[in-house]
Amino acid sequence: MKCQWCANDGKTNVFATTGSNNYQKSALTRHEVHVDHVMVVNGRMAKAKKQTVQHIIEEHTEKVDSVNCESKTAQFRTLFFVANNGLPLDAHHGLIELQRINGCPDLQDKSAIYTGSGTQDEMLDYIDQHVQLAVLEDVKFSDFVGIIIDETTDITIHKKLNVYFKRFKAGTCEPVIHFMDCVSIVDGKAETIVSELVKLCKNIGLDMGTVISMASDGAAVMAGRLNGVGVKLRQQCNPRLVQIHCVAHRLALCAGQACRDEDSFNEYSMTVQNVYKFYHNSAIRYNQLREMETVMNGDQDTRHVTLKEPASFWWLSLQYAVRAIMDVYPALVTTLESQAASGTAEAKGILLKVRQASFLLRTAFLLDVFEVVNTLCRAFQKDELDIEIVNVSVQSTVDTN
């Protein structure tokens, strides 16, 4: 089944493109209230009445407000809160019941409360359509838009492209970031990524000429000076486009590359990783470490340190692992000595590394370095940046001995 009105208007819903093979009445009912179809219908009415788009939106809002009772509004608000805070859908009914017990007048009539999972899905679809419509309208009418993209994979190992749009809030210089889509891509080639970005912008009606920046990581496919995504977007869409490599990511890369050629630091990082695995894989060993912490600190209420795993994709995350090693070092060495004496070969190998003076010195050295560099990294990640303050922060980091 296809909707000829939506198809003629160039909409991208299923009824306008491939057609729906769901012949149930509920499918037609959902399409009838779909934001695309509603806008097409109102647009046709507007032509007859010579109304503006603003009048259409106002009339549609008035109709929705007149149909929805206060109970439905309260349920929609609660479901939006659940979705917006990443809570499980099961929490929706619990929150409704809590409000009812607390005396919310709009939720006292149990017969007006929807409990079916299918109804929840329809309510979420309705919320999604209206939120998406509001976001798309804001993006389309922005003078300039920045794109933020990053590759990822889902749990089924399918390649995806996360796309965010950044714009200024209307009438202000306040930046706003919207998550737009998680696009499936067949491969990670620059041509494929550019094609999907152009297709996405076309589907939402965004003029690619307004896209003036693209932010990404430093991967060659993104930042390549000859055939990267940024270069191709400049060539095909907007010659004024500015390509930005995330400065916090660049700082992390610089820190990692500074130590990459130094074998002693590579060995140190491997030792920290081995310490984490040795205790993480055994609750018995972890309990022995906690008990030793309590004995050495002489306080039964000691808050035990949790060993951290250094992330291979973010070198600066090593700071948390190094800090944990330093905080628990006396108990760690004592516990390893006990476990090595009992014949644990792995404990002997790790003890040989961590008991060296060079290991302790590198731990103290890295903590000092991380404190300075990560302070700059956090400054780069602030929502609002002053270029002069950034320059001072960078120079201060460089000058720190």
105 and 147 belong to one structural domain: no
- Measure the N-to-C terminal CA separation of the chain; round to a whole number of Å: 71
Cα angle 174, 178, 180 (rounded to 5 degrees) comes to 155
Does residue 252 lie within any of the structural domains? no
pLDDT above 50 for 346 = yes
Q: What is the pLDDT of residues 102-146, one digit of tens each?
A: 988 888 887 778 877 778 888 888 888 888 888 888 887 788 899
- Least Cα distance to 376 among 396, 354, 350 occurs for 396
Indicate if 11 and 131 belong to the same structural domain. Answer: yes
Residue at which a domain ends, from 138, 172, 206:
138
* Mean pLDDT of all residues belonging to the chain: 83
Give pLDDT tens digits for 38-94: 888 877 776 655 444 555 555 555 554 543 478 888 888 898 899 888 888 888 888
Asked whether residue 133 falls in the same domain as residue 161, the answer is no
Residue pair 46/54 in contact (Cβ under 8 Å)? The answer is: no
What is d(CA 370, CA 265) in angstroms, rounded to the nearest whole number? 14
> Which of 123-137, 180-194, 301-315 is the least confident region?
301-315
- Number of folded domains in the chain? 3
Query: Which residue range is the domain that position 162 belongs to?
Result: 143-245
Residues 277 and 200 placed together within one structural domain of the fold: no
The answer on 230 and 323 residing in a single domain is: no
* Residue, of 184 and 114, whose pLDDT is higher: 184
Tell me: do 304 and 190 sit in the same domain. Answer: no
**Contact predicate 142/211, CB 8 Å:** no
- Is 264 in the same domain as 387? yes
| Cα 327 from Cα 308, distance rounded (Å) | 12
Same domain, 287 and 394: yes
List the one residue out of 283, 276, 278, 215 whose CA is nearest residue 250.
215
Percent of residues in the chain assigned helix, strand, coil, to nearest 5: 60, 10, 30
DSSP H or E run through 291: helix 283-297
Confidence at residue 64, expressed as pLDDT on a 0 to 100 scale: 46
Whether 9 and 64 share a structural domain:
yes
Q: Are 293 and 367 within one domain?
A: yes
The β-bridge relationship of strands 159-168 and 211-216 is unpaired
Q: Is the alpha carbon torsion for 87, 90, 93, 95 positive or negative?
A: negative
**Domain identity same for 128 and 180:** no
Report if residue 193 sits inside a domain: yes
